[in-house]
Amino acid sequence: MDWKLTLQIIGVLLGLLYLYLEYKANIWLWVVGLIMPIVHGALYFRQGLYADFSMEIYYILAGIYGLIVWKKTKAKAKSKDKRESSSGISRTPLAVWVAIAGVYMVLHAAIYTILVNFTDSTVPFWDALTTALSVVAYWLLSRKFIEQWFVWLAVDIVCVGLYIHKDIPLTASLYALYSVLAIVGYLKWKRIMRAESEGDSTFNC
């Protein structure tokens, strides 16, 4: 079997498992998230998507951070309520959005400059865009901000076109599925937030 096809198939299977765990807000998503970057990283490097390749290194580090944060959040919730720990899902404060916008612009400009001057990337703008947005989305996910799904949706839509252009159609198909599941995931997390809010209100009364 062709190496590119093999990596794509493995990446798709891991990606589907990751999405299911993220949909369920399950902490095991971070464990899968530590394995998946190795597969995708090898594929992206061979296809000349250098910014995406570097992102896989970031994903490994961010995965460790996310696992630690989620474990702490779960432990803190249990200490406050022995009956059942809350999900920890919340909305992103306005002040955080302002900071994120600034970080995104700096990252995009820096990554684009590196790609143009130090690599043979043929899609530096789009490669930089998806990379910078992914950094933002992953951080939002690690803090369990529900709007992370919207950022991932933007990344997924751009990646579909990017990977079709780079002739890795299976991975493009995976990101097309990601786009749909990002909407489904948002609705799921929203239901979780609503259920917890109603439960808290009943309890407080």
What is the rounded CA–CA span in Å between residue 33 and residue 64?
Answer: 9
pLDDT, tens digit only, all 205 positions of the chain? 678 788 888 888 898 898 888 888 888 998 898 899 888 888 888 877 777 787 788 888 888 988 888 888 766 666 555 444 477 889 999 999 999 999 999 999 999 999 899 888 888 999 899 989 999 998 998 888 999 999 999 999 999 999 899 888 888 988 898 899 899 999 999 998 888 887 754 333 3
Q: Are 10 and 42 in contact (CB under 8 A)?
A: no
- The distance of Cα 59 from the centroid of its chain, to the nearest Å, equals 8
Q: Are 139 and 62 in contact (CB under 8 A)?
A: yes
DSSP 8-state class, residue 97: H
Question: pLDDT tens for residues 132-169?
Answer: 999 999 899 888 899 999 999 999 999 999 989 988 88
Amino acid at 81: D
Q: Are 179 and 160 in contact (CB under 8 A)?
A: yes
What is the rounded CA–CA span in Å between residue 45 and residue 164?
Answer: 16
DSSP 8-state class, residue 90: B
Model pLDDT, residue 75: 67
Q: Are 56 and 37 in contact (CB under 8 A)?
A: yes
Q: How many CB atoms lie under 10 A from the CB of residue 84?
A: 9
Distances, alpha carbon 146 to alpha carbons 19, 23, 132, in Å: 15, 11, 19
Model pLDDT, residue 72: 81
Nearest to 140, CA basis, from 148, 132, 129: 148
Query: Domains of the chain: which residue ranges?
Result: 3-82+93-199
All residues at 6 or more sequence positions from 93 whose CB lies less than 8 Å from its CB, including other chains? none
